[in-house]
C-alpha cells in the first residue's frame, strides 16, 4: 500500500485553510504541520494539527509535499527551498511577483525532478471546462469579455488591502482568466494594455484597487479583463464571462441576486447560454439560444478537494507538468505586462 504524502501547509488565509481541509479529508495525504506567521482561527477539523510560525521548522520535518498559500512575494523563496529539500510543491496563484522568479521556480522543479503544481483552480472545474470547450467551437478569431469585481467591506476589505501591498486585483485574479483565454484561443498574446485607478484613500498612492486590461492575440482574437476590490464596487455586471466568434457566442449566466462577496460565485456557472449565428436564406436564425444547465457543480471547498486530488495523482503517477508550468508563466507574464502598462501609460508588446 502506498503511504500518504506527508504534507506541510504554509499560509492559512482563506485558500490555505481550504487546501488544508482538502488534505485532512483525503487519505492520500497526511497533514504533518500548519504554518502561519501569526496566530489564526482554524476550523475545528484542523485544530489538533501541529501549528507553528516558522517555515524552516516545518521544512525540517521532511514533508513530501509543501502547500504554499502565502502572499506572492514569498512564493519563489518558499517553493525553491522546498523543492531543493526534496519536497513537491503546490503553490497558489499568482505564481510569483515577477516572471524571473516564476522561471526560477520552474527551472528548480525541472532540475530537482519535483512536481510544481500552480493553483489554477478553474482547470479542475467541470463547468468551466465545458465553457472553454463550447467557446472553442465558435472561432477563431474570438472576442473574450471577462471580469470579476468584488464589493468588499469589513474583514474582506481588510484582506484586500493587505493583498494589494503585494499584488493588484488585475494580477491576483487575472491569471485565472488570462489562462482561460489562452486555452480558448490557443494563440500567442502579442500586445497588452492596462489601465488602473486608485478609488480609495485607504490604500497607498502607488496602488490601484480597480483595473482592466486588453489583449491582442496573434490570430486576431482580442480579450478584455476587469477586476476591482472595495466598498465602492458596483454589484451590476460584476461577473461577466462571455465569448464571441464568427459562429456565435457562449456566456456564463448567473442567478439573479448573486452577491460579488460570495466566494462560491467566483467559480459557479449555473448555466451556459449558447448562441449559434447560422441563419436561413431569409436571414432568420436557424436555432434559438440554448441554455445548458450545469447541475451538481462543486462548491469552493469541493473544488479545492478536486484540485488537491490532481496534485496527488500528479505525484503518484509522475504526470508531466511541463505544459502546466509553461502556461502558468505565460499567463503571469501577460498580467504583469498589463500592470507595467498601467505605470508607463503605454501598450506593451509581448
Q: Say if 317 falls within a structural domain.
A: no
pLDDT given at position 114: 98
pLDDT for the residue 125: 92
Residue ending a domain, among 96, 118, 140, is 118
Q: Is 264 exposed, middle or buried (0-12, 13-18, 19+ CB in 10 A)?
A: middle
The sign of the CA dihedral 7, 11, 17, 19 is: negative
Q: Check whether residue 184 and residue 260 sit in a common domain.
A: yes
Same domain, 142 and 205: yes
Is there a single domain that holds both residue 336 and residue 228? yes
User: Is 50 inside a domain boundary?
Assistant: yes
> Rounded to whole angstroms, how far apart are CA atoms 323 and 25?
29
Q: How many domains, the chain?
A: 2
Assess whether 56 and 173 both reside in one domain.
Answer: no
In this structure, are strands 65-68 and 189-197 parallel, antiparallel, or unpaired?
A: unpaired
Pair 101, 158 in one domain: no
Q: Identify whether residues 155 and 131 lie together within a single domain.
A: yes
Q: Is residue 326 part of a domain?
A: no
Q: Which domain holds residue 82?
A: 5-118
Q: Decide if 154 is inside a domain.
A: yes
Instruction: Mark which of 81, 96, 118 sits at the end of a domain.
Output: 118
Residues 177 and 46 in one domain: no
pLDDT of residue 270: 76
The per-residue pLDDT for 1 is 58
The domain spanning residue 190 has which CATH number?
3.30.360.10
Q: Any idea what the CATH number is for the domain that residue 59 is in? A: 3.40.50.720
In this structure, are 108 and 242 located in the same domain?
Answer: no
Q: What is the CA radius of gyration of the chain?
A: 21
CB neighbourhood size of 279 (10 A): 11
Q: Which of 118, 139, 165 is the last residue of a domain?
A: 118
- Residue 343 maps to a domain: yes
Omega before 140 cis (within 30°)?
A: yes
Task: Split the chain (350 residues) into runs of 10 and give each run's mean pLDDT.
Answer: 92 96 98 95 96 96 98 96 98 96 98 98 93 97 96 95 91 94 96 97 96 97 97 94 98 78 60 96 96 86 96 98 96 97 96
Are 259 and 142 found together in one domain? yes
Q: In terms of domains, do 114 and 138 share one?
A: no
* Residue 307, domain member (yes or no): no
Q: Could you tell me if residue 267 is left (phi over 0), alpha (psi between -120 and 50 degrees) or otherwise beta?
A: alpha
Asked whether residue 322 is assigned to any structural domain, the reply reads: no
pTM over 0.75: yes
pLDDT (0 to 100) of residue 345:
96
Per-residue pLDDT tens digits for 299-337: 899 999 999 999 999 999 999 999 999 999 999 999 999
pLDDT value, residue 47: 96
Instruction: Spell out the residues 6+ positions from residue 320 whose beta carbon is closer than 8 angstroms to its own.
Output: none
Q: Both 150 and 223 in a single domain?
A: yes
How many C-beta neighbours within 10 Å does residue 282 have? 5
Give yes or no: residues 234 and 265 share one domain: yes
In a domain, 142, yes or no: yes
Amino acid at each position: 500500500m502506498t503511504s500518504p504524502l506527508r504534507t506541510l501547509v504554509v499560509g492559512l488565509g482563506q485558500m490555505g485553510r481550504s487546501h488544508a481541509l482538502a488534505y485532512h479529508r483525503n487519505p492520500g495525504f497526511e497533514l504533518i504541520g500548519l504554518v502561519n506567521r501569526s496566530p489564526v482561527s482554524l476550523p475545528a477539523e484542523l485544530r489538533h494539527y501541529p501549528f507553528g510560525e516558522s517555515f524552516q521548522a516545518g521544512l525540517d520535518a521532511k514533508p513530501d509535499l509543501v502547500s504554499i498559500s502565502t502572499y506572492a512575494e514569498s512564493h519563489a523563496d518558499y517553493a525553491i527551498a522546498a523543492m531543493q529539500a526534496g519536497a513537491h510543491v503546490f503553490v497558489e496563484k499568482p505564481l510569483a511577483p515577477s516572471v524571473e522568479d516564476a522561471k526560477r521556480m520552474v527551472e528548480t522543479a525541472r532540475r530537482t525532478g519535483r512536481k510544481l503544481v500552480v493553483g489554477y483552480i478553474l482547470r479542475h472545474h467541470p463547468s468551466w471546462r465545458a465553457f472553454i470547450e463550447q467557446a472553442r467551437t465558435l472561432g477563431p478569431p474570438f472576442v473574450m469579455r471577462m471580469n470579476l469585481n468584488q464589493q468588499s467591506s469589513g474583514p474582506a476589505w481588510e484582506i484586500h488591502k493587505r493583498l494589494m501591498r503585494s499584488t493588484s486585483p488585475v494580477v491576483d485574479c487575472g491569471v485565472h482568466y488570462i489562462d482561460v483565454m489562452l486555452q480558448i484561443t490557443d494563440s500567442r498574446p502579442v500586445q497588452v494594455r492596462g489601465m488602473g485607478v486608485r478609488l480609495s484613500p485607504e490604500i497607498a498612492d502607488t496602488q490601484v484597487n480597480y483595473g482592466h486590461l486588453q489583449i491582442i492575440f496573434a490570430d486576431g482574437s482580442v480579450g478584455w479583463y476587469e477586476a476591482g476590490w472595495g466598498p465602492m464596487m458596483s454589484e451590476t455586471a460584476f461577473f461577466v464571462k462571455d465569448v464571441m466568434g464568427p459562429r456565435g457566442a457562449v456566456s456564463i449566466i448567473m442567478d439573479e441576486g448573486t452577491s460579488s462577496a460570495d466566494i462560491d460565485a467566483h467559480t459557479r456557472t449555473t448555466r451556459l447560454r449558447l448562441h449559434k449565428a447560422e441563419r436561413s436564406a431569409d436571414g432568420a436564425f436557424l436555432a434559438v439560444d440554448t441554455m445548458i444547465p450545469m447541475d451538481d457543480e462543486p462548491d469552493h471547498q469541493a473544488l479545492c478537494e478536486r484540485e488537491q486530488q490532481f496534485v496527488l495523482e500528479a505525484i503518484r503517477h509522475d504526470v508531466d507538468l511541463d505544459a502546466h508550468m509553461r502556461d502558468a508563466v505565460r499567463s503571469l507574464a501577460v498580467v504583469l505586462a498589463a500592470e507595467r502598462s498601467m505605470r508607463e501609460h503605454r501598450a506593451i508588446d509581448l
